[in-house]
Structure 1
Amino acid sequence: MLHDPNRVYVFDTTLRDGEQVPGCQLSTPEKIEIAIALEALGVDVIEAGFPISSPGDFQSVVELSKAVKEPTICALTRANTGDIDAAVAALKYAKHPRIHTGIGSSDMHIKYKFNSTREQILERAVAAVKYAKKFVEDIEFYAEDAGRADNAFLAQMIEAVIAAGATVVNIPDTNGYCLPDQYGSKILYLKENVKNIDQAIISVHCHNDLGLATANSLAGLVNGARQVECTINGIGERAGNTALEEVVMVLKTHHALGLNTNINTKHFSDISRMVSKMMRMPVQPNKAIIGQNAFAHSSGIHQDGFLKHRENYEIMNPEDVGINSADIILTARSGRHALKHHLERLGYEIERINLDQIYERFLVMADGKTTAITDDDILFLMTDGKEESYKNGYKLNLLQVLCGDPLTPTASIRLEHNGVEKEAMASGNGPVNATINAIQSIVGTDILLKEFTIQAVQGGSDDVSKVNIKISHEGKSYVGHGFSTDIVKASAHAYLDAMNKFM
């Protein structure tokens, strides 16, 4: 079989092996949606299901075959004619069909699963491949439990099924038992001892029972395998399968391996969320590549080094896997550099801020929280009225509001600017409108209020309210935030916060 010697084909089994996780079953429309996303991702093969197992699985393979154009659609079978007939029927509409048939190869499976002998198993393997070959050209053979199989017998089996017509030979570490050097050596043994191995592609299918699925898959690829079988988020039976995103990013990061795939890695974040949501299986936060903490930095030392030079602490660009940017997580362990980064991101001008003073207040806040500091926490820190947000900004020194039926809402306000206080009184159609009118009468600047929203930070009638305000001045928009248990006061702080950003 002719193929690029450096090309690794990606065989995705999210919809077959991945769906074997209890509670993660998908409807046919959901499978189609994921299959279309896998096609956009660039996978070469989609294992669509096990047609003989149920009418639903059969129909899913039929519908996926109709929906997907570019990838090969693969259907799983056991080594018997009934399974293969069902797969042939289900693949009727596939543009590029493949039958994936096989049988156990370890002495344990031969004896305790099949109650058979090596010779009988070998005959069944060859017969299955020959039968499937009558209907479909592309035949993949799996030697189940190859990880624990005797290498000499495994080589004999692989040579026989290739001679019978197999185009791909799958060497599964079905129980996740092998160590990387053992598995890599097994693949190399087949490369060196199977006479017709150049007529087929060797595939690796590793499980994660000992947490070695990705490492074993890579060991197989380094030693000559050129197809990797994997799932999105590493889902699968028991501890899962090789995570597609992990093995692809290892190959992309380690250029020296000289191996490449056709995967558009920028889709990883989106498809990970899709699979997680549809299969109701959350991704652990520390999951490599696509976990929410995969590009998050919370240690002050790490944050400082990252902000000085990204590659000090990151070996991949988050944008390469579909994540907008790395996260600098603020905790009590964070330093001034990280706080400065977030203040600038939120629109504050550092040269107008007493950073040391704010940092001391930040540490007090962070020590009192068991979770990370959020943007709302930072904004509260900057606009709670206890300290000036800007050295030269307007500061609210007094606010009194009179309202209630039948009174006209009226606000009295005192602002300080550059050490000088000014007072004003104004009415409006409500207490907030009256307050904003009073501020404008002092400032005397043409400002257009574009957006105004109020939300409770935690919940409850005595809660701190957060007010978000967007204003426009000379064609540019500015956003301000205010916090207080008094909604009118929070509104005044938000308006001043937005205004101080351009004054």
Structure 2
Amino acid sequence: MADKLWVFDTTLRDGEQVPGCQLNTREKIVVAQALEALGVDILEAGFPISSPGDFNSVVEISKAVSEPIICALSRAVEKDIQVAADSLRFAKKARIHTGIGVSGYHIQHKLRSTPEAVMERAINAVKFARNLVGEVEFYAEDAGRADPEYLASIIEAVIAAGARVVNIPDTTGYCLPEQYGAIIRFLKENVSNIDQAIIATHCHNDLGLATANTLAGVMNGARQVEVTVNGIGERAGNTSLEEVVMAIKSHSEIPVVTQINTKKIYETSRIISKLMNMPIQPNKAIVGRNAFAHSSGIHQDGVLKNRENYEIIDPKDVGVEESTIVLTARSGRAALKHHLALLGFPVEGAELDEVYERFLVLADSKRDMGRKELLSLIGEHLEDSPFISLEQIHYEGGEGEIASAKVTLAIGGKNLSADAVGNGPVDAVIKSIKQLIDHTVLLDEFLIQAMTKGSDDTCKVHMRLMSEGKPYHGFGSETDIVLASAKAFIDALNKLPVKQKLSNN
């Protein structure tokens, strides 16, 4: 029978330490409730001694969620521990996470202490915390570079003092998977009271090995993983929750199970990305927008025949509606046939061969092949289709103030205009466009990236629209952010199914 693996989420503590990603208390509660719905076992809500805001956030999160254990971080300092305990007074299940550096680097150069003094501080901290809350976790900071014998002795001592979880961090992301796994195995074999505690992993991604190290720890006996959604965190980040959970789900030889509701992974990932204003790299495993996108002809043909030919995870298992077949110059006949059929134009045999040859010529000069290009390939007139093009745009007002906009679109051979006001010019322009289409869409993702430097920067805007549960991506680039945003929005609209209709305007 598989063991339970405890999922300890530190998105709101270690993850929030990323510069520019700080959240207010209200936003932290939104994230905490999303993590509760996701099914995390332990939620590290903050470092209460660090600021009044962090203290208040732990208090309010303790009130707002009931299922996960609420954990507060502290140093091995009595005042830290007392403040952590005070912040947890409303928690249904509370844990203090206290600890100290145990590597030679930390003992000599950070703490300027001795191994004996550090041992004493660790024991006293755990005893003090144990008298304040029901559950104490001890972290041995920089354990990845510590002397194994000393690490084992301090872990044995803190367990004897009352720690019921012992965290073995690879704080600097230094270890290789074999090395980190060996540390966990050494503790299992050389700490006499290790059966009285759960071993936790806490790996950083400085060498891109956080997930691999975490899994190596689990395979060698760790039964708690400390992770963040999207892998956010200090420097190169922490271990990614979604990667560990889906690796375990995909490999039956890993002898553990989690209670994570994997169908909520994508939704939770997007909530955190938006609130922290931290875009997810397109090729990020599990949650990147290209994680289930296929552009190579060989891959597309295989996926269209049977998804499992090139996908080890069913997109629906992580909350993604379906895979994406992207048309590029590397796409094959199967993908082209698939997209033309979606537009209502099934082609076969010699006709498909002829269209495909024209497609390759056009695709070599286009980064993205959309509805407009496909219709032109098969000789359809844009005037007879619901294709949208931007004819005119005018707006007044700046960001952070009420703005107005007027937009003229050409849709199916007709010019239609609408105007609207919004919270800033981008909002006003999008509201104007929405008035001219009879299709419900939700702007789910909006990213701006500078492409050049200087006062006349060219920016690239990426938008993701949701319609009937499916995502549609659009891109636009201009020196004017508002114009680039309008183009990206329209680009995404043009990828919606043909059933889109004109409005009554």
Decide: shared fold, TM above 0.5. yes
Could you give the per-residue CA deviations for residues 301-345 of structure 1, whole angstroms, max 9, x where no partner exists? 111122222211111101111111111110011111011111222
* 1:338-353 correspondence to structure 2 within 5 Å: 338-350=335-347
Looking at structure 2, the residues matched to 34 and 379 of structure 1 have their Cα atoms a distance apart, in angstroms, of: 43
In structure 2, relative to structure 1, the CA distance for the partners of 1:460 and 1:136 (3 Å cut) is closer
| Contact 2:371–2:387 (CA under 8 A) maintained in structure 1 | no
What's the secondary structure of 2:75's corresponding residue?
A: coil
Does the CA-based 8 Å contact 2:337-2:346 persist in structure 1? no
- Show structure 2 runs of 5+ residues with no match: 395-407, 414-436, 439-497, 500-505
**How do residues 446-457 of structure 1 correspond to structure 2 at under 5 angstroms?**
455-456=388-389
Contact 2:315 2:323 in 1 (8 A): yes
Number of residue pairs the alignment of both structures matches:
406
Distance 1:20 1:278 in 2: 14
* Residues 1:200 and 2:197 aligned together: yes
Deviations 1:108-142 (A, max 9, x none): 10010111111100000000000000011110000
Are 1:106 and 2:73 counterparts? no
1:243-274: CA deviation from partner (whole Å, max 9, x where unpaired): 00001000000112222110011111111111
Q: 1:327 — aligned with what?
A: 324
Offset at residue 362 of structure 1 (A) = 1.9
Amino acid across the alignment from 1:333 = R
Taking the TM superposition and a 5 Å limit, the aligned residue runs for 1:394-409 are none
Listed as ranges, the matches of 1:341-380 within 5 Å are: 341-350=338-347, 354-369=351-366, 371-380=367-376
Q: Distance in 1 between matches of 2:114 and 2:202?
A: 24
> How do 1:59-98 and structure 2 match up within 5 A?
59-98=56-95
- More moved, 309-318 vs 39-48: 309-318
In 2, Cα distance between equivalents of 1:346 and 1:106: 62
Instruction: State the 1:381 CA deviation.
Output: 3.7
Partner Cα separation in structure 1 for residue 318 and residue 282 of structure 2: 16
Aligned-partner Cα distance in 2 for 1:355–1:203: 57
Structure 2 equivalent of residue 8 of structure 1: 5
2:304 partner letter: L
Report the more deviating stretch, 124-133 or 272-281.
272-281
| Matched-pair contact (CA < 8 Å) for 2:165–2:198 | yes
2:41 pairs with one of 39, 44, 51: 44
Q: Deviations over 1:191-239 (max 9, x none)?
A: 0000110111000000000000000000000000000001010000000
1:343 alignment partner AA: L
Does residue 213 of structure 1 match 2:213?
no
1:201 partner letter = I
- Per the TM alignment, residue 458 of structure 1 is displaced from its structure 2 partner at its CA by 7.7
Is residue 165 from structure 1 mapped to residue 156 from structure 2 by the alignment?
no
Q: Distance in 1 between matches of 2:91 and 2:372?
A: 52
Query: What is the match of residue 484 of structure 2?
Result: none
- What's 1:144 paired with? 141
Letter in 1 for 2:412: V
Amino acid at match of 1:274: I
Paired with 1:349 and 1:108, the residues of 2 have a C-alpha distance of: 67
1:60-84: per-residue Cα shift (whole Å, max 9, x none)? 0000000001000000000011001
Instruction: Look up the equivalent residue of 1:48 and give its one-letter code.
Output: A
Tell me whether 1:238 sits opposite 2:238 in the alignment: no
Work out the CA distance in 2 between the residues paired with 1:368 and 1:85: 65
Displacement of 1:373: 1.4
Report whether the alignment pairs 1:286 with 2:231: no
Gaps of 5+ in 1: 387-394, 397-451, 471-496, 499-503
Could you report, residue by residue, the CA deviation over 1:153-184 in whole angstroms, capped at 9, with x for unpaired residues? Answer: 00000000000000100000000000000000
Q: Please point out which of 169, 173, 182 is paired with 2:179.
A: 182
CA 1:297 to 1:150, structure 2 compared with 1: closer, same or farther past 3 Å?
same
Q: How far is the alpha carbon of 1:379 from its aligned partner? A: 3.8
CA deviation string 1:415-471 (max 9, x = no partner): xxxxxxxxxxxxxxxxxxxxxxxxxxxxxxxxxxxxx9773258679x99443999x
Q: Deviations over 1:373-428 (max 9, x none)?
A: 12443245446439xxxxxxxx99xxxxxxxxxxxxxxxxxxxxxxxxxxxxxxxx
**Deviation of residue 351 (structure 1)?**
5.7
List per-residue Cα deviations over 1:18-53 (Å, max 9, x = no partner). 000000000111100011000000000110000000
- After superposition, the CA RMSD in angstroms is 2.5
Q: 1:375 to 1:243 in 2, by over 3 A?
A: farther
| 2:271 aligned with 1:250 | no
Q: Give TM-score scaled by structure 2 length.
A: 0.76
User: 1:458–1:103: structure 2 CA closer, same or farther, 3 Å change rule?
Assistant: farther
TM-score (norm 1): 0.77
Deviates more, 1:47-56 or 1:359-368: 359-368
Counterpart of 1:354 in 2: which secondary structure? helix
Share of identical aligned residues, percent? 62
Amino acid corresponding to residue 216 of structure 1 in structure 2: N
Alpha-carbon distance in 1 for matches of 2:138, 2:412 = 63
